[in-house]
Amino acid sequence: MDRGADAAATVPLSVIILLLVVLVIDVFAPRRLTGQVAVEVAAGARYSTALVRDSIVTRFDVGPALAPMVAVTLATSLERGWGAQATLDFSTSGLRRHHADGSSVAFGRVSTAAFIVGLERRLPAGFSARIGFGGLKCIPGDKSGIFRLGGGSIAGLGALALGFTLPAGGPYSFAVEARYDVHGFTTPALRDEGFTSPRTVHRVALTLRARRGSR
């Protein structure tokens, strides 16, 4: 299955997850908490560059397919233009090994969990920007291939985002957002095979976010 086919399944799944989480927050979030901070959920699709790239006889790379992602954020008010926030971010995807001739084969599955703390800045015309730093953990589906000795330690992560708030009434605000983050990737198995330096991995996500509480 190619990345285009994965995308077709990703969007409906992400929207369903987003609606379910919004419903849970609406029912169970304490009223006092939602009056002090914003509770936000986001869901969408994420593209990632290759985790491994090498050439033995012919060039190949190993990378995630287009992946569904969800994130939950607690954020302080933006009344003064700035707000602090903490985010838990999760995505999961099948890995594929891509060859120079254009062919590819399935190569297992990997999930990522990230914790990010940062700042959000309100911009003119309904836009907002975020910057954050944190850590990311790779969680392999099984111990084989590049994960045969485990998923490795937590990697440092830097993140940027640009969002646009959609016109909507009621207790929720909705926004579309483009997210970018970068982290290093290595595993004990890769180091054992002579890959001494982590590979820089870039990720881009397009999300729909819903926020309840102080804005």
The model carries a pTM of 0.79
d(CA 74, CA 212): 10
Q: Enumerate the β-bridge partners of residue 57.
A: none
Element (H, E) at 132: strand 127-140
Q: Which domains occur in the chain, in start order?
A: 3-213 (2.40.160.20)
Task: Please check the confidence at residue 148 and state whether its pLDDT lies above 70.
Answer: yes
Of 145, 142, 151, the residue nearest 193 (C-alpha): 145
* Cα–Cα separations (whole angstroms), residue 141 to 99, 108, 145, 188: 22, 7, 11, 16
Tens digits of per-residue pLDDT, 45-96?
Answer: 999 999 888 765 566 688 888 999 999 998 887 777 788 999 999 999 998 8
Pairing of the two strands 199-213 and 59-64: unpaired
22-39 per-position pLDDT tens digit: 555 554 555 444 457 788
Average pLDDT score over residue span 171-187? 92
Average confidence (pLDDT) over 84-112: 84
DSSP code of residue 80: T
7-28 average pLDDT score: 48
What pLDDT does residue 5 have?
Answer: 40
